[in-house]
Amino acid sequence: MRLPHVPLDEVEDVHVGLIGIPWDGGTTNRAGARHGPRQIRDLSTLMRNVHHVTGVKPFDLANCADLGDTPVNPIDLHDTIARIEAFFRDVHAAGIVPLSAGGDHLVTLPIMRAIARAQPVGMVHFDAHTDTNDRYFGEHKLTHGTPFRRAIEEGLLDPKRTVQIGIRGSLYTSHDMDWGYEQGIRVIQIEEFFDLGVEAVIAEARRVVGDGPTYISFDVDGLDPVYAPGTGTPEIGGFSTHDAQRMIRGLRGVNLVGGDVVEVAPPFDPSGATALVGATIMYEILCLLTEVVAKR
Amino acid sequence: MRLPHVPLDEVEDVHVGLIGIPWDGGTTNRAGARHGPRQIRDLSTLMRNVHHVTGVKPFDLANCADLGDTPVNPIDLHDTIARIEAFFRDVHAAGIVPLSAGGDHLVTLPIMRAIARAQPVGMVHFDAHTDTNDRYFGEHKLTHGTPFRRAIEEGLLDPKRTVQIGIRGSLYTSHDMDWGYEQGIRVIQIEEFFDLGVEAVIAEARRVVGDGPTYISFDVDGLDPVYAPGTGTPEIGGFSTHDAQRMIRGLRGVNLVGGDVVEVAPPFDPSGATALVGATIMYEILCLLTEVVAKR
Amino acid sequence: MRLPHVPLDEVEDVHVGLIGIPWDGGTTNRAGARHGPRQIRDLSTLMRNVHHVTGVKPFDLANCADLGDTPVNPIDLHDTIARIEAFFRDVHAAGIVPLSAGGDHLVTLPIMRAIARAQPVGMVHFDAHTDTNDRYFGEHKLTHGTPFRRAIEEGLLDPKRTVQIGIRGSLYTSHDMDWGYEQGIRVIQIEEFFDLGVEAVIAEARRVVGDGPTYISFDVDGLDPVYAPGTGTPEIGGFSTHDAQRMIRGLRGVNLVGGDVVEVAPPFDPSGATALVGATIMYEILCLLTEVVAKR
Amino acid sequence: MRLPHVPLDEVEDVHVGLIGIPWDGGTTNRAGARHGPRQIRDLSTLMRNVHHVTGVKPFDLANCADLGDTPVNPIDLHDTIARIEAFFRDVHAAGIVPLSAGGDHLVTLPIMRAIARAQPVGMVHFDAHTDTNDRYFGEHKLTHGTPFRRAIEEGLLDPKRTVQIGIRGSLYTSHDMDWGYEQGIRVIQIEEFFDLGVEAVIAEARRVVGDGPTYISFDVDGLDPVYAPGTGTPEIGGFSTHDAQRMIRGLRGVNLVGGDVVEVAPPFDPSGATALVGATIMYEILCLLTEVVAKR
Amino acid sequence: MRLPHVPLDEVEDVHVGLIGIPWDGGTTNRAGARHGPRQIRDLSTLMRNVHHVTGVKPFDLANCADLGDTPVNPIDLHDTIARIEAFFRDVHAAGIVPLSAGGDHLVTLPIMRAIARAQPVGMVHFDAHTDTNDRYFGEHKLTHGTPFRRAIEEGLLDPKRTVQIGIRGSLYTSHDMDWGYEQGIRVIQIEEFFDLGVEAVIAEARRVVGDGPTYISFDVDGLDPVYAPGTGTPEIGGFSTHDAQRMIRGLRGVNLVGGDVVEVAPPFDPSGATALVGATIMYEILCLLTEVVAKR
Amino acid sequence: MRLPHVPLDEVEDVHVGLIGIPWDGGTTNRAGARHGPRQIRDLSTLMRNVHHVTGVKPFDLANCADLGDTPVNPIDLHDTIARIEAFFRDVHAAGIVPLSAGGDHLVTLPIMRAIARAQPVGMVHFDAHTDTNDRYFGEHKLTHGTPFRRAIEEGLLDPKRTVQIGIRGSLYTSHDMDWGYEQGIRVIQIEEFFDLGVEAVIAEARRVVGDGPTYISFDVDGLDPVYAPGTGTPEIGGFSTHDAQRMIRGLRGVNLVGGDVVEVAPPFDPSGATALVGATIMYEILCLLTEVVAKR
CA-to-CA distance for F155 and F164, rounded, in angstroms? 18
Q: Is A76 annotated as a binding residue?
A: no
ipTM surpasses 0.95: no
Are F218 and F91 in contact by the 8 Å Cβ rule? The answer is: no
Question: Is residue D238 over pLDDT 90?
Answer: yes
Per-residue confidence (pLDDT) for residue E199, from 0 to 100:
96
Question: Residue A227 and residue C229: Cβ atoms within 8 Å?
Answer: no
**Planar angle of CA B71, B77, B79, nearest 5 degrees:** 55
Pick the residue of E54, E242, E243 with the most D CBs within 10 A to test the interface with D by mutation: E242
Query: Scanning every residue of chain B, which has its alpha carbon at the shortest distance from the alpha carbon of C227?
Result: B226
Amino acid identity, position D286: L
Q: Which chain F residues have a beta carbon less than 8 Å from that of A271?
A: 270
pLDDT band, residue F171 (cuts 50/70/90): confident
- DSSP 8-state assignment for residue B101: E
C-alpha closest to that of D29 among B144, B267, E283: B267
Are F220 and F278 in contact by the 8 Å Cβ rule? The answer is: yes
| Residue D172, SS3 per DSSP | coil
* Cα distances (angstroms) measured from residue A14 to each of A7, A18, A84, F157: 11, 10, 19, 50
For range E110-130, the mean pLDDT: 97
pLDDT band, residue A47 (cuts 50/70/90): confident
Q: Is C261 left (phi over 0), alpha (psi -120 to 50) or beta?
A: beta
For range A2-21, the mean pLDDT: 86
CA-to-CA distance for C250 and C248, rounded, in angstroms? 5
CA-to-CA distance for C39 and A28, rounded, in angstroms? 40
* Cα distances (angstroms) measured from residue F135 to each of A18, C207, F26, F73, F158: 49, 51, 12, 22, 20
CA-to-CA distance for B43 and B274, rounded, in angstroms? 10
Q: Which chain C residues have a beta carbon less than 8 Å from that of B169?
A: 48, 52
Question: Residue E237 and residue F245: Cβ atoms within 8 Å?
Answer: yes
pLDDT band, residue C69 (cuts 50/70/90): very high
Amino acid identity, position C142: L
**Max CA-CA distance within chain A?**
51
Q: What is the pLDDT of residues B238-279, one digit of tens each?
A: 999 999 999 999 999 999 999 999 999 988 887 889 999 999
Question: Residue E50 and residue D174: Cβ atoms within 8 Å?
Answer: yes
- pLDDT higher at E33 or D285: D285
Q: Which chain F residues have a beta carbon less than 8 Å from that of A42?
A: 38, 42
Per-residue confidence (pLDDT) for residue D137, from 0 to 100:
67
Are C141 and C70 in contact by the 8 Å Cβ rule? The answer is: no
Per-residue confidence (pLDDT) for residue A5, from 0 to 100:
77
Chain E neighbours (≥3 Cβ pairs under 8 A) are A, B, D, F
Are F234 and F274 in contact by the 8 Å Cβ rule? The answer is: no
Question: Is residue D26 over pLDDT 90?
Answer: no
Looking at every residue in chain C, the average pLDDT score rounds to 92
For range A131-155, the mean pLDDT: 87
Query: Scanning every residue of chain F, which has its alpha carbon at the shortest distance from the alpha carbon of D242?
Result: F237
Pick the residue of F42, F44, F66 with the most A CBs within 10 A to test the interface with A by mutation: F42
First CA to last CA distance, chain B: 24
- Which positions in chain E have a beta carbon within 8 angstroms of at least one beta carbon in chain F? 29, 167-174, 176, 189-191, 194, 224-226, 229, 233-234, 236-238, 268-269
CA-to-CA distance for A135 and F227, rounded, in angstroms? 45
Pairing of strands A186-189, E157-167: unpaired
Question: Is residue C78 over pLDDT 70?
Answer: yes
Question: Residue D52 and residue F170: Cβ atoms within 8 Å?
Answer: yes
Q: What is the pLDDT of residues F84-122, one digit of tens each?
A: 999 999 999 999 999 999 999 999 999 999 999 999 999
Per-residue confidence (pLDDT) for residue E187, from 0 to 100:
97
Question: Is residue F11 over pLDDT 90?
Answer: no
CA D62 distance to own-chain centroid: 21
Question: Residue F30 and residue C74: Cβ atoms within 8 Å?
Answer: no
The binding site of D for Mn(2+) comprises 105, 127, 129, 131, 219, 221
Are F79 and F96 in contact by the 8 Å Cβ rule? The answer is: no
Looking at every residue in chain A, the average pLDDT score rounds to 92
Chain C neighbours (≥3 Cβ pairs under 8 A) are A, B, D, F
Which H or E run includes C82? helix C77-93
Per-residue confidence (pLDDT) for residue F259, from 0 to 100:
98
Chain B neighbours (≥3 Cβ pairs under 8 A) are A, C, D, E
CA-to-CA distance for F82 and A44, rounded, in angstroms? 29
CA-to-CA distance for A215 and E118, rounded, in angstroms? 57
Pairing of strands D186-189, D121-126: unpaired
Per-residue confidence (pLDDT) for residue E222, from 0 to 100:
97
Do B and F make contact via 3 or more CB pairs under 8 A? The reply is no
Amino acid identity, position B131: D
Question: Residue F50 and residue E225: Cβ atoms within 8 Å?
Answer: no
Q: What is the pLDDT of residues D83-130, one digit of tens each?
A: 999 999 999 999 999 999 999 999 999 999 999 999 999 999 999 999
C-alpha closest to that of E153 among E133, E176, E174: E133
Q: Is F221 annotated as a binding residue?
A: yes
Query: Scanning every residue of chain C, which has its alpha carbon at the shortest distance from the alpha carbon of B223?
Result: C242
| Residue B159, SS3 per DSSP | strand
Contacts of F169 (CB under 8 A, 6+ apart): D48, D52, F128, F129, F235
Question: For chain E, what percent of residues have pLDDT higher than 90?
Answer: 71
Per-residue confidence (pLDDT) for residue A137, from 0 to 100:
66
For range E57-80, the mean pLDDT: 91
Q: What helix, strand, coil percent values describe chain D, rounded to 5?
A: 40, 20, 40
Three-state SS string over F69-122 comes to: ECCCCCCCHHHHHHHHHHHHHHHHHCCCEEEEECCCHHHHHHHHHHHCCCCCEE
**Max CA-CA distance within chain C?**
51
Chain D neighbours (≥3 Cβ pairs under 8 A) are B, C, E, F
CA B185 distance to own-chain centroid: 17
For range B55-81, the mean pLDDT: 91
Q: What helix, strand, coil percent values describe chain C, rounded to 5?
A: 40, 20, 40
Per-residue confidence (pLDDT) for residue E73, from 0 to 100:
87
Per-residue confidence (pLDDT) for residue C156, from 0 to 100:
98
Question: Is residue E29 over pLDDT 90?
Answer: no
Q: Which chain C residues have a beta carbon less than 8 Å from that of F31?
A: 24, 31-32, 34
| Residue A270, SS3 per DSSP | coil
pLDDT band, residue C137 (cuts 50/70/90): low
- DSSP 8-state assignment for residue B99: E
First CA to last CA distance, chain D: 24
pLDDT band, residue A252 (cuts 50/70/90): very high
Q: Is C111 left (phi over 0), alpha (psi -120 to 50) or beta?
A: alpha
Question: Is residue F137 over pLDDT 70?
Answer: no
Q: What is the pLDDT of residues A181-224, one digit of tens each?
A: 999 999 999 999 999 999 999 999 999 999 999 999 999 999 99
Query: Scanning every residue of chain B, which has its alpha carbon at the shortest distance from the alpha carbon of A167?
Result: B52
Contacts of D118 (CB under 8 A, 6+ apart): none
CA-to-CA distance for C25 and C37, rounded, in angstroms? 15
Q: What is the pLDDT of residues E247-296, one digit of tens each?
A: 999 999 999 999 999 999 988 888 889 999 999 999 999 999 999 999 98
Q: Which chain C residues have a beta carbon less than 8 Å from that of B170?
A: 47-52, 283
> Which residues, listed in sequence order, are joined to residue C265 by a DSSP beta bridge?
none
Q: What is the pLDDT of residues A255-264, one digit of tens each?
A: 999 999 999 9
Name the pTM for this structure: 0.90
Query: Scanning every residue of chain F, which has its alpha carbon at the shortest distance from the alpha carbon of D278?
Result: F236
Kindly tell me the burial class for residue C296, based on how many C-beta atoms sit within 10 Å of its own C-beta (0-12, 13-18, 19 or more). Answer: exposed
For range A82-90, the mean pLDDT: 97
Question: Is residue D244 over pLDDT 90?
Answer: yes
Q: What is the pLDDT of residues B96-120, one digit of tens each?
A: 999 999 999 999 999 999 999 999 9
Question: Residue E75 and residue A30: Cβ atoms within 8 Å?
Answer: no
Closest CB to D77: pick one of B75, B137, B268.
B75
Lowest mean pLDDT: which of A268-277, C82-91, C177-186, E199-208?
A268-277
DSSP string for chain E = --PPB--GGG--S-SEEEEE----TT-SS---GGGHHHHHHHHHTT--SB-TTT---HHHHS-EEEEEEPP--TT-HHHHHHHHHHHHHHHHHTTPEEEEE-SSGGGHHHHHHHHSSSSPEEEEEE-SS------BTTTB--STT-HHHHHHHTTSEEEEEEEEEEE-S-BSSTTTTHHHHHHT-EEEEHHHHHHH-HHHHHHHHHHHHTTS-EEEEEEGGGB-TTT--SSSS--SS-B-HHHHHHHHHTTTTS-EEEEEEE---GGG-TTSHHHHHHHHHHHHHHHHHHHHHHH-
Cis, bond preceding C238 (omega within 30 deg of 0): no
CA-to-CA distance for E288 and E249, rounded, in angstroms? 8
Per-residue confidence (pLDDT) for residue A29, from 0 to 100:
74
CA-to-CA distance for C257 and B36, rounded, in angstroms? 46
Q: Which chain D residues have a beta carbon less than 8 Å from that of B76?
A: 77, 137, 140
Kindly tell me the burial class for residue F13, based on how many C-beta atoms sit within 10 Å of its own C-beta (0-12, 13-18, 19 or more). Answer: exposed
